[in-house]
Amino acid sequence: MTVYFIGAGPGDPELITLKALKRIRACPVILYAGSLVPREIFAEVEGRAEQIIDTASMDLEQIIAHIKTAHQAGKAVARVHSGDPSVYGAIGEQIRRLNELHIDFEIIPGVTATAASAAWLGKELTLSGVSQTLIMTRYEGKTPFPERERLPALAASGATLAIHLGVTRIHKIVEELIPHYGDTCPVAVCYRTSWPDQDKVLGTLGNIVEKVRDKKFTRTSLILVGHVLDSHEFRDSYLYDKTQAHIYRPKVKRKQVCLLANKA
């Protein structure tokens, strides 16, 4: 049988995909990270699924033992993670164990905290002439970091940054970003985006540390940094420019453009 690594989204049960929900309905065994995935996601399979197990207190080998037992019994497993399992989902080591055990798996993507936070803020993270690149990273802690991926190196690009797992080191993050973005660069820190207790704070690199400390955010927060968060000076995209042809829209001749402009 198959193990499905399922992205449950950032927290709101309505942000789970139809495909993910379909797989959850079909699996008799569900393993989910209870510290990050709301139990409400499994509301319609409560009492129908044979097992719904919170793995928050388990280590890797305990989780794999549950999967192995289900596989030996011929039962498919829904391994449910928050957000998208391929981004900071710690599924790589699980996949390695499954390959060793010759157990098939499939990854079902989910809505990321970055996407949900941008929607909550009402912002586009890539604006023409401001930033066309989004870098998703985390702040250096216990996880080893290559020198080329440390924050100052990434900040040199001036791209929009989505920094996970770093709110407790917000002061260090600010110190490393100001030389590249300036102290007036806008910042948004989003706490538990899409959960009932979601909260956020907006500021600049110059004042965000104090604002975050006032909010007492210490975990489950995404830090978004970039001039796209407070920019009204950007070019319109070529995507809908009537003078720009593409495969779905033939080129408009200059004479036609003038006629259209006069009519407007």
Residue 246 pLDDT level (bands cut at 50, 70, 90):
low
Query: Does residue 2 sit in helix, strand or coil?
Result: strand
Task: Identify the pLDDT of residue 1.
Answer: 79
Which tokens go with 129? 């002439």
What is the residue whose two structure tokens read 């940054």?
A: 161
Q: Could you name the CATH architecture of 113-230?
A: 2-Layer Sandwich (3.30)
Residues of the chain with CATH 3.30.950.10: 113-230
Task: Identify the pLDDT of residue 180.
Answer: 96
Pairwise CA distance, residues 154 & 144, whole Å: 16
Biggest alpha carbon distance in the chain? 73
Q: What is the pLDDT of residues 153-177, one digit of tens each?
A: 999 999 999 999 999 999 999 999 9
Task: Identify the pLDDT of residue 258.
Answer: 57
Q: What is the pLDDT of residues 251-261, one digit of tens each?
A: 665 555 555 55
- As a whole number, the mean pLDDT across the chain is 91
The helix-helix angle for 170-181 and 208-215 (nearest 10°) equals 160
Query: Residue 264 pLDDT > 70, yes or no?
Result: no
Average pLDDT over residues 67-95: 96
Task: Identify the pLDDT of residue 129.
Answer: 86
Report the DSSP beta bridge partners of residue 108: 6
Average pLDDT over residues 52-71: 96
Q: What is the pLDDT of residues 82-131, one digit of tens each?
A: 999 999 999 999 999 999 999 999 999 999 999 999 999 999 999 988 89
Find, among 26, 30, 20, 19, the residue nearest to 77 by Cα: 30
CATH 3.40.1010.10 fits 2-108, yes or no: yes
Residues of the chain with CATH 3.40.1010.10: 2-108
Average pLDDT over residues 205-228: 96
Among 107-116, 198-207, 223-232, name the one with the lowest average pLDDT: 223-232
Among the residues of 73-185, which ranges form H helices? 92-100, 113-121, 151-155, 170-181
Task: Identify the pLDDT of residue 249.
Answer: 66
Report the DSSP beta bridge partners of residue 51: 29
